[in-house]
Amino acid sequence: MSFFDVLAISGSGMHAQMIRMNATSSNLANVGVAASSAEEAYKAKRAVFRTIYDTSAEDYKASVGVEDVVHADRPNERRFEPGNPLANEDGYIYISNVNSIEEMMDMQMSSRAYQANVEVINTAKKLVLNTLRLGK
């Protein structure tokens, strides 16, 4: 019965979206956080998804997984703040390169995708239960 595969596939989708949302919340928590060098400064993280095809299954089965978590390559903003305790010897601090508007949108998208997967599971569950009651 393929409906059990549906549970596995949508479950993998929910798991992947959850990891993406974790990355987003880390990014949002680190908006405007300063550091003393460009290397140490926080860089926005983004999850990259990959399709996992189950070739052993007879039917088409494509779940999703997280291939990698990459860093945004935007340069960190440098600001002259000699009074800041984190400032380097030249008086500069480096701000995290998170764009909060971008993150809010990403969060919205992953939450929608997560909800869609939940709906798929709910429908599949209902149909399986109805099938089990067949002929009664």
Partner 1 sequence: MPLLSNPFGVHERALALRDQRSTILAANMANVDTPNYKARDINFREILEGASNPNMMDLTHREHMNTEFGASGDILKYRMPSAPSLNGNTVEMDVEQGQYADNAMRYQATLTFLNSKISGITKALRGE
List residues near partner 1 by CB under 8 A.
1-3, 5-6, 9-10, 12-13, 16-17, 20, 48-51, 58-64, 109-110, 112-113, 116-117, 119-120, 123-124, 126-127, 130-131, 134-135
**Minimum CB distance to partner 1, residue 56 (Å):** 11
For the residues of 23-54, what is the DSSP string, one character each?
Answer: HHHHHHHTTT-EESSTTTS---EEEEEEEEE-
Q: Is 127 helix (H, G, I), strand (E, B) or coil?
A: helix
Cβ proximity to partner 1, 6 vs 41, nearer residue: 6
**Minimum CB distance to partner 1, residue 107 (Å):** 13
**Minimum CB distance to partner 1, residue 99 (Å):** 18
Cβ proximity to partner 1, 63 vs 99, nearer residue: 63
Q: Amino acid identity of 107?
A: M
**Minimum CB distance to partner 1, residue 29 (Å):** 22
Cβ proximity to partner 1, 39 vs 58, nearer residue: 58
CA angle 108, 68, 76 (to 5 degrees): 70
Cβ proximity to partner 1, 59 vs 89, nearer residue: 59
Least Cα distance to 72 among 36, 23, 15, 109 occurs for: 23
DSSP state of 59: S
Q: Is 12 helix (H, G, I), strand (E, B) or coil?
A: helix
